[in-house]
Every structure is written in structure tokens, then in C-alpha cells.
Amino acid sequence: MSYPHQGPTPWGTGITVAIMVALLAAIAVFSFGRALAEVHPLLAVAVNLIAAGGAAPTLWRWRWTPVTRWVVGGGTAGVLLGWVALLINGFAG
């Protein structure tokens, strides 16, 4: 897919947005997953996979939109970090 040149890429602002979104997403995924794991561990896994699977097609379409791509990248990184934190917490506890 080829898009016309939109101008210079705002790396500083974009990376800042991606980091902030990643932190918020990681905290949300970890907190919600941990709360669900107290009810039943498989419930936490199922809800996380269903939520990620439901959001994936929309996020895949937005990945090249000039502003949204930073949010998508940060959100994806945050979800992955949240899952890693849940796995570490699950194995440690």
C-alpha cells in the first residue's frame, strides 16, 4: 500500500504518545487480567484473547494512518507488556 508523502514524521511527539499509550495499556491489561485471574485463571486468558482478537482487525487497518499509528503501536506494545507481566506474576505467585 502506497500513501502520498504527508510531510516530516513527528518522531519526538509520536514516540512520546506511543510510550504513554503503552504504559496505560500495560497497566490496564495487567490490572484487569489479575482481577479476572482471582475469579478463574482461564477466564482471564479467555477475556484477554477475545478482546485482542476483536480489536486486531480494526487496529490492523489503522496502522498506517498518520496520527493513529502511534496510538496503535503503543497500544500493541502495552498489551504485550501487560501479558508478559501477567505471565511473570502467574508463575511467581
22 in any annotated domain: yes
Query: Given the C-alpha cell 482478537, which residue does it identify?
Result: 53
- Please name which of 78, 81, 82 lies closest in space to residue 18, comparing C-alpha atoms: 78
Global pTM?
0.85
For residue 43, give its domain range.
13-92
Q: Is 21 a residue whose pLDDT tops 70?
A: yes
In a domain? residue 23: yes
Whether residue 87 lies inside any domain: the answer is: yes
Alpha-helix runs per DSSP H in the chain:
11-39, 41-62, 68-92
Q: Could you tell me if residue 6 is inside a domain?
A: no
pLDDT of residue 6: 67
Tell me how many domains the chain contains: 1
Determine the average pLDDT of the residues in 20-38: 96
**pLDDT tens digits for range 39-68:** 998 999 999 999 999 999 999 998 888 889
How far apart are the C-alpha atoms of 44 and 29, rounded to whole Å? 10
Q: How many CA atoms lie within 13 A of 69 on its CB side?
A: 9
Residue 8 covered by a domain: no
Asked whether residue 8 carries a pLDDT value surpassing 90, the answer given is no
| CA pair distance 55, 66, nearest whole angstrom | 19
Alpha-carbon distance of 14 to 73, in angstroms, equals 10
Query: Is residue 36 situated within a structural domain?
Result: yes
Q: Looking at the domain assignment, is residue 4 inside a domain?
A: no
pLDDT at position 93 over 90: no
Return the higher-pLDDT residue of 2 and 64: 64
